[in-house]
Copies of this chain bind each other. A is one copy, B any other.
């Protein structure tokens, strides 16, 4: 049987080593760099980079080839968390059991560390083809996919919608489109880029993007469920916060049971999409299941 725990552990080590290598080339003992590293190494699950590598593997590519994209995706995810946590936005002081960036440093440093992680992501992507001219166009496309997913028609617009929704009540359809932008777009880009780097065909790519949309939403539904009945110790943050802030969530709109059913259904859909893939897609299949079974 496929050992997902071992797989994720190995991929995490690989991703963390690649991130560390990037930071070794940056000046040490500078507050800005320290703040960037602080948030980047604060215990993230590395879901997006693992999905990116898994997608490359699923279509027969070498996951290592996708490492620059994996690192860039994690940097962009981390920057978005730093900025979302700011007092002007969600005003969170704890993330993954540690003080958020603006608490550990200060607000100005947190804003700039986020900016710098976003910028560094594109630097890493632009350097990926430096020694292989023939891959330049491929990496340019990766930059386009990621910038579109992370920008004003993707992740950032999702955060705008999330903030606009505060206090009001969203419909299930509105909640879904908000999440499709806020978290779904970057998850979809993760698999898309992995597939692209591994030279996937248009049909495979299309299926992996469908897979991504299903697990992206399942991921968010599960997040909402964990906020209701998760263990704050395992999660490294308080639970029950969504209902206290009267946030529109799946459990609030559908109830807890129907939310769990929805998450399971989404993962079933995702697994069905992968039926045409061989055993090289085993990591992606296991990741899909992990996404709704995780405890944090």
0 or 1 for each of A12-54: is its CB under 8 Å from B? (1 = yes): 0000000000000011001111001000000000000000000
Interface residues of A, count at CB 8 A: 51
Taking CB atoms, residues of chain B closer than 8 Å to A160 are 30-32, 109, 112
Q: Is the interface of A mostly helix, strand, loop or mixed?
A: helix
Binds B, one of A56-64, A123-131, A241-249: A123-131
| Chain B residue at minimal CB-CB distance from A25 | B153
- Docked-complex contact A116 and B26, CB < 8 angstroms: no
Nearest chain B CB to A263 CB, angstrom units: 28
- Is A119 an interface position by the 8 A CB rule? yes
A157 to B150, CA, bound (A): 23
- Is A67 an interface position by the 8 A CB rule? no
Scan residues 77-114 of chain A and give those whose CB is less than 8 A from a CB of chain B: 79, 83, 86, 88-89, 106-109, 111-112, 114
- Is A219 an interface position by the 8 A CB rule? no
- Is A137 an interface position by the 8 A CB rule? yes
Given A152-B32, A157-B30, do A88 and B115 touch, yes or no (CB 8 Å)? no
Scan residues 151-207 of chain A and give those whose CB is less than 8 A from a CB of chain B: 151-153, 156-157, 159-160, 163-164
Q: How many copies does the complex hold?
A: 2
- Is A211 an interface position by the 8 A CB rule? no
Q: Pick from B88, B109, B120, B159: contact of A147, CB below 8 A.
A: B120
Given A26-B152, A30-B157, do A163 and B120 touch, yes or no (CB 8 Å)? no
- Is A252 an interface position by the 8 A CB rule? no
- Docked-complex contact A129 and B120, CB < 8 angstroms: no
- Is A143 an interface position by the 8 A CB rule? yes
Nearest chain B CB to A75 CB, angstrom units: 11
- Docked-complex contact B151 and A119, CB < 8 angstroms: yes
A30 to B31, CA, bound (A): 36
- Docked-complex contact A147 and B119, CB < 8 angstroms: yes
- Is A3 an interface position by the 8 A CB rule? no
Given A83-B111, A88-B111, A129-B137, do A119 and B163 touch, yes or no (CB 8 Å)? no
A34 to B296, CA, bound (A): 37
A147 to B125, CA, bound (A): 10
- Chain A interface residues toward B at CB < 8 A: 26-27, 30-33, 36, 79, 83, 86, 88-89, 106-109, 111-112, 114-116, 118-120, 122-123, 125-127, 129-130, 133, 136-137, 139-141, 143-144, 147-148, 150-153, 156-157, 159-160, 163-164
Nearest first, the 6 closest Cβ-Cβ pairs linking A and B are A88-B107, A123-B147, A119-B151, A126-B144, A126-B143, A136-B137
